[in-house]
Each structure stands twice: as structure tokens, then as C-alpha cells.
Structure 1
């Protein structure tokens, strides 16, 4: 039998940590159950560089886990995401507790907030929510920005509450983190797209962010002046959220976008319309510009499909466009036959999505929900894009079949033809695969559908 000095529990810590470094996370946990000494090795800072904290209403254990992990590792980690149910005051309180603990970590590199909704239900009596937010969420975040040595990425999670104070946070970032910040997500989701607070945001504040590579911002602050500042930063991705458009908004000129594209030729433009009931009508005339390097366009619950805008996409962005989403609820007034729309309203032939598939040579993704569409046009899109098409989403109940065969026979034939064209198994989305708000605008919360989509590309 091995002597006490030669037992496994007496391995030098440097060797034990080296052994643990070769194990998966689950294997580390199993090994840590061997003895108290091995359990201590599990808590070495090098194993906890990245933590995803979660506070979920339907998973109370997530709150206990978050409290435990934040107690041990909040001062050690480098990258963190804080996901929480923002309509549950208890979960908001837990998210605030995590942010407060992170204030003592001056080595933090990345902080991503991931709320479930655009608004936060803070603890306390009615009317005390703003006081809680400013004291327990905003103030710790400001302190964190001041104290971090080299903050590289910050996302406010499209929260409208945080967006109201984005100017304060931006000023602090410019003062303390301009030399290291590479990713900044300030764009928001509005609870009421027709009535929200506008900040007095000076475009000049962005001049100091010479390391910035990814920026998201609401369209309200996008102007020729802003583009003139950003063109000197060398951005790789510029994400713009469009809600309402006030009459005083200056818009942007094609000349400004031309200058921007010449100075930042690699910068992708991601344009997202969210409940933009008015803006969707002027998308083609006042928002899109030919010199934009538009790679992604998403329209969520705008209750109209702008066919002229689709025509602009195929005319202006033949080399750049990679992704198109157009989503509405099926039982809302927006649900209509796309074929009738472009024939009766726009007098366009042939189908605008087919033209997109033909002319936009880098198009990889089409998501069309809430609009009736012909099966033969789906087949045409699949054949034109071939194996370069990575995603083609449409609900089965939105497909119009010209054949008089039984519905299931039509579906199977469509699945076969599309699958053969794109080189992988394909099928339209069944009812069970759709979010409740897609079925009916009153059956679900659109935030729950939109936020995971707009926040999914958090990493650089």
C-alpha cells in the first residue's frame, strides 16, 4: 500500500492542475468528488475564465447555481454572460447581484447581458423600479466600466431600460475603455416603437474608440455625421435597429455611405426593423442606400412586406447580401399572399424572392414567416441557390400548392425537390416548431422571439 506521502491526495498542486487541464468540464467535476484536495483543484481560476450566469423563473436551481458561482468566481473570470427573466423581479435582482459582484473584478474582458424582454420588472413597490435600476444595475455597471483594466466587449442586451442611460455608459467607456473596447452593443428593442426616449448623442464620442470592430446602435442616432466618424475606426460589423422614425431625423445620404464603404470596405451592415410600422413603408426610399455594404436584413412584426425594398436588394446588393428575414404573425392583418401583393401592388414580375435568389450570388439564408407563398417559387429559389443555401424557413401552412394532389403528397414532393437542390434534407416548419407569437400576435410575446435572434451573434 502506498505511504501517506505517496498518496494521490498529496500530488503537488501544479501537477494536479495540469492533470485537470486535460479533462472536460464534466470529468473535472467527477474527479473533484475524489477528495477535498482534488475538489480544491476544481476551483483554480484558470478553469473558470468563462461563466454563463442564469436566473430563470422556471428553473429556481439556476438562481442557486448563479449565487454559488458568483460567490466563488466573480473576481476571477474573464468572460461572462448574464441571462435572466427580466419580467421576474427576483431574477432581475439576481442579475443585479451578479453585476455588483463583478465590480471587484478588474480583469473582466467581456460582459454580455441577455434579458428575456426589452423591459425590466425591478423589485420594490410600484414607482420604486427606477430607483432600484439606477442603484443596483446602472451604478454597478458604471463602476465596472471605471475599474476594468481592459474591457473588450460590452452588450446591454437590447434592454430599453439600459438604452435610456446609454449616453452615460458611452461617456465612461470613451474615458476608461477606449483603448481596448472592440465590441459594443447599444442597440435596443422598444416596448412602444412609436413613443420612446431619444438621447442627445454626440457622434464625436466614438472618435476615441480606435479598436472598435463591432458596433450596434439604434437608427435614431445614425446620420452622415456619425458615418463620417465611424469610417475612421475600421469597423467589421455595424448593426442598426430601426423602430420609429421621427420627423426631425436627418437620415443618411448615399454619398456618406460611399465614403464609409471606401474607408471600411470590410464592414458588414446588419439592418433590423422591429415593429417598424412606419419605417417599413419608407425602407426603400429613406433607409436603404445603394452604397451600403448590406449583408443582413431582418424585418420583425412590421405588418407589411415592402416589395419595392426587395427589388432594391436585388438591384443594389448582389454581391453583399447573405441573409434575409421577414417575419410576421400568421393571424395578424399582415398575413396575405405575397404573390398577390407583388402582382397587384407593385406590378413586379417575376417573384421578388426568386429574383433575389438569382441575382444575390452570396445569399445563404431566407426566413419568410406569416406570408403565403407558392411552392414552385420555393423550388426555384432552392435550384438557383443550390448547396450555397444554408437555411430556407417557411411554415407549412403558408405554402400555396398549385397541384390538386392531396396536401401530404404535395408536401413530400416539395421536400424532395428542395432537398435535392440544396444537397441536404429539408422540410417546411410544422406548427409545433413555430413560436406562439408566430401563430397569433396575442398568443405570445414578440420579445421572446426577437431577442434570441438579435443577440445570438454576440461574439466577435
Structure 2
């Protein structure tokens, strides 16, 4: 009798599935019971798993399938309230079984819907920090994009047996503090064992006290800050922060869809003396703001990368361009291209990208 596709041996079938994308693998599990068993019996090997918090049943399936060998976990938060609480209490604890989780990224609804007026997503502090410290031996990247840690609730320790076990050595303050914006100051003694190197947050949710707390991470050396059209930008006290990092703290700045009127605020409150700026990327701001390029000269010894990218203007007339009348005075009598001047002064600049503009 001829054998069909449903009778293929499990091990060779599982080896074939290793070469499929995540979407194709999930489709393959719907073919027949034998194909599904091949994937479940030999746990999935997927480096990157993306979850959408609204899809609870799918998330549980993916978590139980790939939790052990996943190295990068990206969580897209597209819900709130009870649905989000369900994700933190049911889905996320599954990843406490991971062997080598190196990257955890939370992306809030503001970035998913391109609406900067939405409220930030509230992350369960007990669950999130327990997962971070559980993987302290291997984690290197942590990103919170338009997300903030919620106030700790001690009852959250008992929502799942994994959380209860891994949260035992941790302590949390029920009263919120600005020093606990990213990780709790009360767990600073455990931070010395962490391999965390890179943290990415929105500029609105970082402060001097929080950076002093993060200085207990021995390998923490790169901080990515995202600036967009939000509230007023509060300056960071780099004269207080720098002594906490004897090996230095490199800053990567990302400016996204910032209105023209806010660039001066970036120069006055963000680009301050004492910050070790190594990279700045400006996306979709619809203008070239020359004073910002001039201000970058103060980082001439540290700046290594500059990216200024925008969408090319699309019009039926190829010679039609929109030119904005800038309100700052033209000081340079010889009209030197600011990019050329910056490249000449920044001796360590290694990468320059200009996209969507005529220079």
C-alpha cells in the first residue's frame, strides 16, 4: 500500500520543519495530526518569537512550542485591561522555561498604531522583572518602547507557580519611585550578577535616579533613547550620572517624527555636556534642522554614526519640491554644507546616511 504524506517519520519531518519560517511552520501543523506531533514532540528551535498580547490562544501555543530554545522575545502590546493582565498571568510565565533568553522587547500601542497620543502600556512589574532576573546569566538586551512598569502588587507573585518560584529572591516597593522606572532599586544587590548590556527606553521614562539605579548592572554600557512628540523633555544630570559609570555609558539617540518646533528643545535639554553620544538617528521629521547638526560638534570625539532619513516627496511633477522657510538665522557667510562641516570636525564618525533629501 502506498504511503501518504501523513505517514512520514517524525524525526525527518521535524528536521524539514526547522528550515521553515514561523508562519509556514504553524500552517504545517494544520495538515494532519502526524505533522503536528512532529513539531510538539521535538520542541521548536526558533531564535525569535513575536507575540501579540490580544491573541491569547495562539500565544499559548507558540509559547509552549518554542519557549525552551527561544533567544529573542518580542511582545507587541495591542490590548489593555483584563486582556493584558491575562497575557502576563498565563502566557509570559511559560517563558520562564527558556534556557537562553538574550533579548526581551516590549512594544506599546503607540508605536503599533502610529498614534503618539495613546497612553503607555502598563507592564506587570513582578512578572517582567522576575523574567529578566531569571535570565540574568544570559540576557543582553532589554527594550521598553512606550511602556512603563506598573506599581508592584505582592499578590502577583502567586498568579503562577513559575512566578512564585523565581520572584522569591526579589523585593518590590509598593510605593512607586522615579528610581524604579526600569528596574527596581530594591533589587540592586542582584543586578551585579546580570549580563544586561543594552537598554532601550523612551526619553520620557528615563531620569537621573533611574540611571543611577541601573549603574549596579556591571556590563550595562549602551543606552538607547527614543524621542518623539510627547511631553516636555526634562534634562538629565550627566554630571551626577557619569561618576556612576567608571567604564562609560554610550548613548544612542533616536528622533522619530519630531515636529520642527521641538528641535530647539532637543538641543537645550537633551544634547548636554557630559553625555557620551555615539549615534544619532533622525527619522521622518520632514526637515533638515541645521542647528542640530551644529550642536553635534560638541560630541566630535565620541560621535560615530549619523542617520537622517525621510520619505522622498512623491509628486507627479518630478521637479516639484516643498521648501520650508526655516526661522533660524543664517550665520555662515560662506554657506558651508553642515554635513560636510560635521564630518570634518567629528574625527571618529564612521557612518553617515542621508536619505530622502537633496543635499
TM-score range, shorter chain: 0.5 to 0.7
Q: Which runs of 5+ in 2 are unaligned?
A: 113-119, 151-175, 316-320
* Residues 42/323 of structure 1: CA separation in 2 closer, same or farther (3 Å cut): farther
2:253 is paired with a residue of what secondary structure? strand
Structure possessing the higher radius of gyration over alpha carbons: 1
Tell whether 2:312 aligns with 1:315. Answer: no
Task: Say what the alpha-carbon RMSD is for the aligned residues.
Answer: 4.2
> 1:322 deviation in Å?
1.9
Name the structure 1 match of 2:213. Answer: 229
Looking at structure 2, the residues matched to 220 and 63 of structure 1 have their Cα atoms a distance apart, in angstroms, of: 38
Name the structure 2 match of 1:217. Answer: 201
* TM-score, with structure 2 as normaliser: 0.65
C-alpha distance after superposition, 1:310-351 (max 9, x if no partner): 11212323343223224356379x9537xx759x63524522
Q: Which runs of 5+ in 1 are unaligned?
A: 1-32, 55-60, 123-128, 190-196, 374-460
Looking at structure 2, the residues matched to 62 and 105 of structure 1 have their Cα atoms a distance apart, in angstroms, of: 12
Tell whether 2:65 aligns with 1:107. Answer: no
Looking at structure 2, the residues matched to 350 and 268 of structure 1 have their Cα atoms a distance apart, in angstroms, of: 30
Number of equivalent positions: 300
Indicate conservation of the 8 Å contact 1:324/1:366, yes or no: yes
Indicate conservation of the 8 Å contact 2:13/2:38, yes or no: no
Looking at structure 1, the residues matched to 138 and 311 of structure 2 have their Cα atoms a distance apart, in angstroms, of: 39
Tell whether 2:305 aligns with 1:347. Answer: no
- Structure having the larger proportion of residues in helix: 1
> 1:167 deviation in Å?
4.7
Name the structure 2 match of 1:268. Answer: 250
C-alpha distance after superposition, 1:362-411 (max 9, x if no partner): 333333345442xxxxxxxxxxxxxxxxxxxxxxxxxxxxxxxxxxxxxx
* Residues 282/161 of structure 1: CA separation in 2 closer, same or farther (3 Å cut): closer
> 1:161 deviation in Å?
8.5
Indicate conservation of the 8 Å contact 2:202/2:226, yes or no: yes
Indicate conservation of the 8 Å contact 1:213/1:236, yes or no: yes
Tell whether 2:220 aligns with 1:205. Answer: no
Higher relative contact order (CA 8 A, sep 6+): 2
Indicate conservation of the 8 Å contact 1:51/1:77, yes or no: no
Residue among 239, 243, 247 paired with 2:224? 239
1:113 is paired with a residue of what secondary structure? strand
Indicate conservation of the 8 Å contact 1:179/1:211, yes or no: yes
* Residues 179/336 of structure 1: CA separation in 2 closer, same or farther (3 Å cut): same
Looking at structure 1, the residues matched to 75 and 121 of structure 2 have their Cα atoms a distance apart, in angstroms, of: 17
Name the structure 2 match of 1:151. Answer: 101
Residue among 272, 283, 288 paired with 1:305? 288
1:345 is paired with a residue of what secondary structure? coil
